[in-house]
């Protein structure tokens, strides 16, 4: 067991995959001598060479589009998109090509491509550096979409993503890159929790709180604060955003009767909406109150001086928990 930062944990996972499978290659902007702008790939080019850790031209469509060709040829490309907001030039390749190839060829061509995306806000960055684009991708069938929340998962899930024969969008919460945690590097991947499983990270009985990526830490802190007031919150780390592990969420809501979902992305058309609807369908008779979403606002990601208002924090999450409990209703009387 070692204590690693989130960024080091991903680095260790990438290293392991590069060691274990000569078909694994890394591609991205500045991932070589610089080690990526977040240093996630630090030292990998030095140890594995320029042919396996490739500094690509500044062309996101090019990065993903050539990965498609490499995958055709039997490689397992791991692409880094430098920041969430720069994935859009590659959107066409991801949704039109990567996602559909397996279906199109009825399984004859696999796309074992991993796309690493630092995502989310909270680091005081300029425009296009704090986006939460996950819903665009969860809406696209054929892709697996995961978001990691702690160094251990970061370490195992990057390896599982690379080993997966399906394309995986692997979202890394950039504001947590420096958080440290225990990582068991000897973990046997076949024994580890599968890539598409949700985890109950705090047991509770009054309210189910679903979070993923950067907000898992916030959700756990909120559960702790709620416990101080005598409210028992069960926190679920979704881990896989597509497909969602509904049985785990469902079992929790059947127990608590209340559901709060939180994410940094805006509310409209977000994952919270999908989970609220699906859980309402599955557990209508068990629900004591309407599911509540605590999300970013439906505005473009604001300038950094205002981002702390946009991002769900502990207090806003607790406000949502209170609402499901009928403790107060800060929304009552609002029109529209």
Ligand X SMILES: Cc1ncc(C[n+]2csc(CCOP(=O)(O)OP(=O)(O)O)c2C)c(N)n1
Q: Which residues contribute to the site for another protein (CB under 8 A)?
A: 29-30, 32-35, 37, 55-62, 85-86, 88-89, 124-129, 267-268, 297-300, 302-306, 309-310, 316, 319, 330-331, 334-336
Which is catalytic among the residues 129, 178, 263, 309? 129
Query: CB neighbours of 199 closer than 8 A, spacing ≥ 6?
Result: 193, 236, 237, 239, 248
Q: Which is nearer to another protein, 86 or 155 (CB)?
A: 86
Contact 262, 235 (CB under 8 A): no
33 binds, among ligand X, another protein, none (CB under 5 to 8 A by kind): another protein
Residue 319 interacts with ligand X (CB under 6 A): yes or no: no
Query: CB neighbours of 303 closer than 8 A, spacing ≥ 6?
Result: 127
Contact 249, 235 (CB under 8 A): no
Residue 86 interacts with ligand X (CB under 6 A): yes or no: yes
* Integer angstrom CA distances of residue 81 from 41, 90, 92, 120, 312: 12, 9, 14, 13, 25
Contact 198, 238 (CB under 8 A): yes
Query: CB neighbours of 154 closer than 8 A, spacing ≥ 6?
Result: 6, 9, 10, 13, 148, 172
We find the least distance from the C-beta atom of residue 286 to another protein, in angstroms, to be 27
Residue 82 interacts with ligand X (CB under 6 A): yes or no: yes
Q: Which is nearer to ligand X, 59 or 109 (CB)?
A: 59
We find the least distance from the C-beta atom of residue 296 to another protein, in angstroms, to be 10
| Interface size with ligand X, residues (CB under 6 A) | 6
Residue 89 interacts with ligand X (CB under 6 A): yes or no: yes
How is residue 49 written in tokens? 């060479």
Residue 29 interacts with ligand X (CB under 6 A): yes or no: yes
We find the least distance from the C-beta atom of residue 166 to ligand X, in angstroms, to be 25
How many whole angstroms separate alpha carbon 121 and alpha carbon 114?
22
Q: Which is nearer to another protein, 153 or 319 (CB)?
A: 319
Q: Which is nearer to another protein, 1 or 306 (CB)?
A: 306
Residue 58 interacts with ligand X (CB under 6 A): yes or no: yes
How many whole angstroms separate alpha carbon 320 and alpha carbon 257?
14
Active site residue 139: no
Residues that bind ligand X (CB under 6 A): 29, 58, 60, 82, 86, 89
Catalytic residue numbers read 129
């Amino acid at each position: 067991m070692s204590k690693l930062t989130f960024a080091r944990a991903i680095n260790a996972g990438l290293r392991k995959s590069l060691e274990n499978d000569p078909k694994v290659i890394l591609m991205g902007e500045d991932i070589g001598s610089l080690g990526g702008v977040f240093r996630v790939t630090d030292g990998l080019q030095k140890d594995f060479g320029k042919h396996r850790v490739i500094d690509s031209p500044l062309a996101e469509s090019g990065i993903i589009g050539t990965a498609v060709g490499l995958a055709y040829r039997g490689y397992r490309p791991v692409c880094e998109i430098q920041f969430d907001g720069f994935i859009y030039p590659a959107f066409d390749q991801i949704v039109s090509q990567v996602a559909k190839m397996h279906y199109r060829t009825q399984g004859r061509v696999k796309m074992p491509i991993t796309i690493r995306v630092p995502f989310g806000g909270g680091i005081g960055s300029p425009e296009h550096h704090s986006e939460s684009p996950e819903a665009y991708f969860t809406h696209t069938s054929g892709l697996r979409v995961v978001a990691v929340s702690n160094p251990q998962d970061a370490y195992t899930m990057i390896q599982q993503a690379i080993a997966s024969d399906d394309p995986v969008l692997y979202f890394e919460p950039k504001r947590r890159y420096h958080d440290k945690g225990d990582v068991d590097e000897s973990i046997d991947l076949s024994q580890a929790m599968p890539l598409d499983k949700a985890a109950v990270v705090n047991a509770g009985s009054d309210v189910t709180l679903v979070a993923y990526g950067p907000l898992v830490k916030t959700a756990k802190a909120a559960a702790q604060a709620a416990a101080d007031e005598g409210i028992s919150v069960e926190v679920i780390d979704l881990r896989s955003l597509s497909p969602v592990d509904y049985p785990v969420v469902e079992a929790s809501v059947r127990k608590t009767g209340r559901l709060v979902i939180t994410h940094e992305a805006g509310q409209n058309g977000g994952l919270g909406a999908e989970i609220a609807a699906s859980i309402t369908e599955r557990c209508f008779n068990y629900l004591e109150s309407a599911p509540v979403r605590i999300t970013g606002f439906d505005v473009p990601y604001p300038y950094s001086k205002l981002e702390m208002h946009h991002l769900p924090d502990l207090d806003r999450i607790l406000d949502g928990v209170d609402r499901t409990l009928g403790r107060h209703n800060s929304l009552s009387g609002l029109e529209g």
